[in-house]
A and B are shown apart, each in its own frame.
Chain A
């Protein structure tokens, strides 16, 4: 069989399973007695093993196999989860991850896992005799299922069918032990049956079967016109099926069957709860070796049928092409709008207006397609923080909120590393060692909050710890020692400015360099990366109470809403996200403070920046005007007023870069093409506020 076509599917699903393994292991660690979680972990590992074996990745399969052995003991309560077991299992997960990574990059997924395997085996030996069924299949397949529980409706359907002279069959199919593609075989059985009748109810339910989440046996009620024997033969003709039992039912036997199953229902109760997902308490599952499906399904998207969220995976490059094409369209749209308004043709105007509406809907969708929940970055952090805490011998809780917040894919791709850095920083420099925390009267477990949320045209990601906070003196001392600032400069700096020193190149506050953070490449890299994405970082800190790194990111990098302005014969665009307000001031309102020009805005005085001076605009100077239009812009919580010539209006613009030849230009962040085909420069408001 050619495996290549399954390879991407294998990689995707393996990653899904590894992720869910990691998540559930973490849950289990905080809740070690919850056998329900062990069941989920076991099943993920089991599926992973099956997939790996099918694809011929033996090391992967043998490692998962050993993990299963350990987990099997745990879920049968023959082994208590302990720290060193967690560590070994986590180590195994790391090994699995790197193997899958290797396969992703085209390798053969081979890796020396013997030491991990050995330690897993020693756990199995050391803590009790390996159970007889602890091996390959995990759960014993020989569970006899006495009928399937039916609800009233299904019962009446079957009952009525019998009355109407249809054949009602109870079919139980057992797959061969070495069957690798259980889901596929089961599906083939279903398809064969559905050709000549109707399946009323299956056990386990169809979704679980299609996802391969059953041991070798499944059973179903079936209504048909055909003979029992025909059906039996038809099923047997499918390969890899060990046995089938097809029983024709009449009124009595049906009733009997249902009663029997009701009697076993107490035992099977937790299975039943699978249909209406509910958390499973450990006591219910002990007598029961059948997989328990919990609400948090581990295999979210591998089959089409009946799955609530229907998704397809699309090559990212195609989305980029779509985006580029759409940008072209948008430029033409603006041009068309302009032509239509000049031509005074009502029909043309109507059509163009309609087109504009359609294209703004299209724009929303295209932009949404590129949006990815930050969870795709966040999901590896719980594990990372756990490991960090272990290494640093601290206790740290990571609390994630807003993981569903969406960001443009380009931002997501870039934001991972800076966040890792900030989290490491919080864990290492922020949260104190346990002894210090107790001495300071804090709970010994430190808390790090990782929050994401929308605000206006921005997404904020905050990393807040309840650690020791930032001490001004310490930073200044360090900065002066490192030559980042002079003593005189330091004395006149505000607390904010002092905090910003953390981002200065070549600055590291940790007294001793640990392998976690503080390796010289410091927060300055974080800052420059975030700034390159059009974002910003702010630090809020209370000494002794904790520190908050707030990362502000633009929602999208490609299309933004902007205010177009006129400067003499030139046109510029100012992103709406940085505009607070627009207005007109009179010459007399301008005040001179310490040689700089200020204007009263709301309750405060804000500086005035002359755009015409800043950009040396040749044919406009506001000095000649009695009244001047201003745009109040914002950077963080600081404001400034830009004096301009005139407003043109608001417009959606497509951001283009100025080409590689031009160096970075102060005050300009890019260019856009206007409706008339002219290029307008986009003003970078941050450059005007120091």
Chain B
């Protein structure tokens, strides 16, 4: 039997994604971001979160999707992985749901344009809903980013 986990649900476009709740520190509304020059395009800059400077990345940009302008639904999800704190800009964050790890199936090659290595799996919730679980340490893997940038140049 798998274990019950709580998952934060957020949206990029029409697709719904999930991050385990214990990896999420807080969810913030959009706030002023200070641009940081000479870094990856998807790094939007840094924010002041109650006295701590935290880098913010646009998750759409990170996954190679088109970036869109912020709306009043836009949220910044602050996650903490491997002693790193990073903010993800997402289209909206709506829900916390319970999930059994047994319901997570290994991902297909590409889901909604996102490479499988960034994904932990796809979970079926209820009848119609599919939830894509993110593999956070892979999303935040820097050495991979550097290779990626190198290819683009």
Residues of chain A at the chain B interface (Cβ within 8 Å): 327-328, 331, 570, 614-618, 656-663, 665-668, 671, 673, 677-681
Contacts and interface: CB of A to CB of B under 8 A. Distances in A.
B38 A661 contact: no
Contacts of B45: 679
A659 B46 contact: yes
22 contacts: A327-B51, A328-B51, A570-B34, A615-B38, A618-B35, A657-B53, A658-B55, A659-B53, A659-B84, A661-B142, A662-B43, A663-B39, A663-B142, A665-B36, A667-B37, A671-B46, A673-B51, A677-B32, A678-B48, A679-B45, A679-B48, A681-B34
A667 B38 CA distance: 9
Given A667-B37, A681-B36, 9 more contacts: A570-B34, A570-B35, A660-B83, A661-B86, A661-B142, A662-B43, A662-B46, A665-B37, A677-B32
Classify the interface of chain A: helix, strand, loop or mixed.
loop
B52 interface: yes
A328 B37 CA distance: 26
B57 to A, nearest CB: 8
Given A656-B53, A659-B54, A660-B83, A678 B32 contact: yes
B34 A671 contact: yes
Interface of B is mostly: strand
Contacts of A681: 34, 36, 46
Contact of A659 (B35, B38, B51, B86): B86
* Size range of the chain B interface in the assembly: 20 to 34
Contact of A679 (B43, B53, B84, B86): B53
A636 to B, nearest CB: 24
A658 B142 contact: no
A320 B103 CA distance: 47
B135 interface: no
A679 B34 contact: yes
Interface centre among A614, A658, A668, A680 (most CB of B within 10 A): A658
B47 A660 contact: no
B84 A658 contact: no
Interface of B: 32, 34-39, 43, 45-48, 51-55, 57, 83-86, 140, 142, 146
Contact of B53 (A570, A618, A658, A665): A658
A665 B38 contact: yes
Q: Which of B36, B46, B86 has the most CB of A within 10 A?
A: B46
A653 to B, nearest CB: 12
A681 B46 CA distance: 9
A678 B34 contact: yes
Given A656-B52, A679-B48, A662 B83 contact: no
A680 B34 contact: yes
Nearest to A611: B37
Given A331-B51, A659-B85, A659-B86, A679 B38 contact: no
Contacts of A662: 36, 39, 43, 46, 55
Contacts of A671: 34, 46, 53
A570 B37 CA distance: 11
A618 B38 CA distance: 13
Contacts of A328: 51
